[in-house]
Amino acid sequence: MIETPKGLRLHIGLYGRRNVGKSSLLNALVGQQVSIVSQHPGTTTDPVEKVQELAPIGPVVFIDTAGIDDEDSLGRLRKERSLQALDRTDIALLVVEGHVWGDYEEQLVALFAERKIPFAVVFNKTDLAMPSAATVAGLHKAGTRTVYVSALQSQGIEAIKIALAELAPEDRFAQPRLLGDLLAAGDLVVLVVPIDLGAPKGRLILPQVQAIRDILDSNASCLVVKESEYAGILNGQTRRPKLVVCDSQVVRTIAQQTPADIKLTTFSILMARFKGDLDKFARGVAAIETLRPHDQVLIAESCSHHPLADDIGRVKIPGWLRQYASKDLHIDNLAGREFPEDLSLYKLIIHCGGCTANRKQMLTRLYRAEQQQVAMTNYGLAISYMQGVLPRVLDPFPTARAAYLAAVQG
Ligand SMILES: Nc1nc2c(ncn2[C@@H]2O[C@H](COP(=O)(O)OP(=O)(O)OP(=O)(O)O)[C@@H](O)[C@H]2O)c(=O)[nH]1
Ligand SMILES: [Mg+2]
């Protein structure tokens, strides 16, 4: 078995007073009894470590520490060990009992701050008591994340995982290449770039520029053409393109003009893979088929650009969806940083390519949707789906294609 070495794993430490439920939380997080729990304060003496694959972050180590609020000689030893664990902690969870917040917690917060360890405050035992509004307000004012849980009743454990994903450093979310991994040196790629009203003045958009750069990094070449020139250029080529990448909005025409043995995809599908999880988006897109009148759909964008008259997220996709599924869909648009906590009212979320967002943000959103069992896909997949060319444009990505086919059959 190939295991990620501990040193490469994100270390998540649980800290807090004795008896607040650190060990109970560890057990709830990993779904196993790995740390001993008892009603006697001081149960955990040495830090307990547990390796785990934690979605969506990946390989992590949880460290359950001894409560470090006692001052007898044994207590001092425990305290030392727990503080040593801080040295290897990438993210800390400060576990507190509902209503208990004092100097001890403030000291731990100061320790995290001094060591620049991102942390969240986990209010445990909320089945017994809730934190005071003043405590919570103070934490929020300082920009600290708070989570309310009950380890005993297994409540709120998902919220901890989401907080962890949000606190995890961006470089934990390994980024695939945009398309370079699909190419060999000497290959030719054709990029079809419509220059319409939506195209920014005097430049190309980021995914197009990134694609050109990535192609060059692979020692491959590319031709950049407008859709009106495409057929002519393709016919005049003696070299067969390895791949054609087009804008989603012209995918149907380009698919018709491209021989079946030349692989075709879209910029947004490349972005879906680069910034998110193509397999999951491919699975999510099948939900379009199940949309019924009055279902709620969320269209989410990472940036808040000024919407154009025929804006893709506000006008085009809603129009296509209404035409394809039902004219009576309820469609909400959200742009920028906001993304609702409660997604459960939505039947489907369609996200933009996220060219201005990072991979971590997208994976965290995807994870949240997954937890609430709400289908999520992205612009490019949704458009290609409604244009009837999805299997074709997923052809270069066999696992995504399989995920899509399984979802439409299931
Ligand atoms: N009511 C309630 N009891 C809880 C909850 N979580 C833990 N407990 C109880 O609190 C006691 C202490 O739990 P532990 O998980 O051992 O606490 P700890 O923080 O690891 O304690 P030390 O190892 O002594 O520092 C046990 O009796 C648990 O059953 C909760 O959410 N609600
Ligand atoms: Mg313990």
Report the nearest atom of ligand 1 relative to the CA of 36: 16
Say if residue 94 is in the same domain as residue 28: yes
CB atoms < 10 A from the CB of 148, how many? 17
Cα 65 to ligand 2 centroid, rounded to whole Å: 7
308, pLDDT greater than 70: no
Cα 111 to ligand 1 centroid, rounded to whole Å: 23
Give the DSSP letter of residue 155: B
Q: How confident is the model at residue 186 (pLDDT cuts 50, 70, 90)?
A: very high
Looking at per-residue pLDDT, the higher value among 4 and 145 belongs to 145
Ligand 1 near 293 CB (within 6 A): no
Q: Indicate the residue type of 315.
A: V
Say if residue 136 is in the same domain as residue 211: no
Q: Which of 113, 157, 136, 116 is nearest to 21 (CA)?
A: 157
Q: Whose CA is nearest to atom 2 of ligand 1?
A: 125
Q: Considering the chain, what percentage of its residues have pLDDT values greater than 90?
A: 68
Q: Whose CA is nearest to atom 32 of ligand 1?
A: 125
Ligand 1 near 66 CB (within 6 A): yes
| 398 contacts: CB under 8 Å, gap ≥ 6 | none
Q: How confident is the model at residue 331 (pLDDT cuts 50, 70, 90)?
A: very high
| 248 contacts: CB under 8 Å, gap ≥ 6 | 266, 267, 268, 269, 379, 380, 383, 384
Q: For the segment 240-261, what is each residue's pLDDT rounded down to a tens digit?
A: 999 999 999 899 999 999 999 9
| 379 contacts: CB under 8 Å, gap ≥ 6 | 248, 268, 312, 313, 317, 350, 351, 352, 353
Instruction: Taking residues 177-206, report their average pLDDT.
Output: 90
| 101 contacts: CB under 8 Å, gap ≥ 6 | 131, 132, 135
Ligand 1 near 100 CB (within 6 A): no
Looking at per-residue pLDDT, the higher value among 109 and 78 belongs to 109
Among all bound ligands, the one having the nearest atom to the CA of 68 is 1
Q: How confident is the model at residue 279 (pLDDT cuts 50, 70, 90)?
A: very high
Domain enclosing residue 327, as ranges: 275-409
Predicted pLDDT at 227: 95
Q: For the segment 17-66, what is each residue's pLDDT rounded down to a tens digit?
A: 999 999 999 999 999 998 889 998 888 888 899 999 888 888 899 999 98
Q: How confident is the model at residue 71 (pLDDT cuts 50, 70, 90)?
A: low
Say if residue 262 is in the same domain as residue 279: no
Q: Does 326 map to a domain?
A: yes
Place of tokens 């060999």: 184
2, pLDDT greater than 60: no
State whether the Cα torsion 263-268-273-278 is positive or negative. negative
State whether the Cα torsion 391-176-164-352 is positive or negative. negative
Distances (CA, A) of 119 to 15, 57, 108, 314: 10, 15, 10, 37
Beta bridge partners of 376: 349
- State both tokens at 307: 């919407």
- Among 110-119, 165-174, 329-338, which is the least confidently predicted range? 165-174
Ligand 1 near 135 CB (within 6 A): no
- Among 200-204, 227-231, 306-310, 341-345, which is the least confidently predicted range? 306-310
Q: How confident is the model at residue 1 (pLDDT cuts 50, 70, 90)?
A: very low
Residue whose CB lies within 8 A of the most ligand 1 atoms, among 18, 23, 24, 68, for a mutation test:
24
Cα 8 to ligand 1 centroid, rounded to whole Å: 30
Q: For the segment 201-211, what is each residue's pLDDT rounded down to a tens digit?
A: 888 888 899 99
Question: What's the rounded Cα separation, in Å, for the pair 113 and 12?
Answer: 16
Count structural domains, the chain.
Answer: 3
Say if residue 258 is in the same domain as residue 314: no
Say if residue 210 is in the same domain as residue 351: no
396, pLDDT greater than 90: yes
Question: What's the rounded Cα separation, in Å, for the pair 314 and 300?
Answer: 10
Ligand 1 near 169 CB (within 6 A): no
Looking at per-residue pLDDT, the higher value among 339 and 157 belongs to 157
Say if residue 265 is in the same domain as residue 280: no
Instruction: Taking residues 224-233, report their average pLDDT.
Output: 96
Ligand 1 near 21 CB (within 6 A): yes
Q: Which 3 state secondary structure label does DSSP give 114?
A: helix
Q: Indicate the residue type of 212.
A: I
Q: What does the mean pLDDT of the chain come to?
A: 90
Instruction: Taking residues 197-224, report their average pLDDT.
Output: 90
Q: Indicate the residue type of 251.
A: V
The CATH number covering residue 144 comes to: 3.40.50.300
Instruction: Taking residues 231-236, report their average pLDDT.
Output: 93
The CATH number covering residue 226 comes to: 3.40.50.11420
Predicted pLDDT at 337: 75
Say if residue 200 is in the same domain as residue 247: yes
Instruction: Taking residues 76-105, report their average pLDDT.
Output: 85
Residue whose CB lies within 8 A of the most ligand 1 atoms, among 22, 36, 37, 147, for a mutation test:
37
Q: Does 1 map to a domain?
A: no
Ligand 1 near 128 CB (within 6 A): yes
Q: Which residues are close to ligand 2, an ion, with C-beta < 5 A?
A: 22-23, 43-44
Ligand 1 near 268 CB (within 6 A): no
73, pLDDT greater than 70: no
Predicted pLDDT at 306: 66
Question: H or E element: which one contains 349?
Answer: strand 348-351
